[in-house]
């Protein structure tokens, strides 16, 4: 079941129907959601690369919230997510 775009929040980890985890880093200038996936490295989760996608597609793929990260700065730097803007 898809969630609403308004339920997408920066710093939250969302679960997809394929049991993949996505950490929302923020939004870019065009309003697309910037996120990173958990990846396979168990020692460094969410430290691989970032992806930009429309809020509508992200909401369709996410089935629920799995957690939250308080400090996003290390993830923004590690993922080279320079397109993220404060919202």
pTM score, two decimals?
Answer: 0.90
* pLDDT score of 14: 96
* pLDDT score of 1: 57
- Indicate the helix (H) or strand (E) that contains 36: strand 33-37
- Indicate the length of the chain as a whole number: 87
pLDDT digit string, tens, across residues 11-55 = 999 999 889 999 999 999 999 999 999 988 888 899 888 999 999
* Residue 64: C-alpha distances to residues 8, 24, 50, 54, 80 (Å): 10, 13, 20, 17, 26
- Torsion region of 7: left, alpha or beta (phi above 0 gives left; psi -120 to 50 gives alpha): alpha
Say yes or no to pLDDT of 3 above 60.
yes
């Amino acid at each position: 079941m898809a969630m609403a775009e308004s339920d997408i929040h920066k710093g939250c980890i969302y679960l997809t129907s394929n049991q993949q985890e996505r950490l929302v880093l923020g939004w870019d200038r065009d309003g697309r959601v910037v996120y990173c996936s958990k990846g396979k490295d168990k020692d460094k989760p969410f430290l691989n690369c970032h992806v930009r996608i429309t809020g509508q597609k992200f909401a369709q793929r996410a089935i629920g919230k799995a957690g939250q990260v308080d400090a996003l700065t290390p993830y923004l730097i590690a993922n080279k997510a320079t397109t993220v803007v404060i919202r």
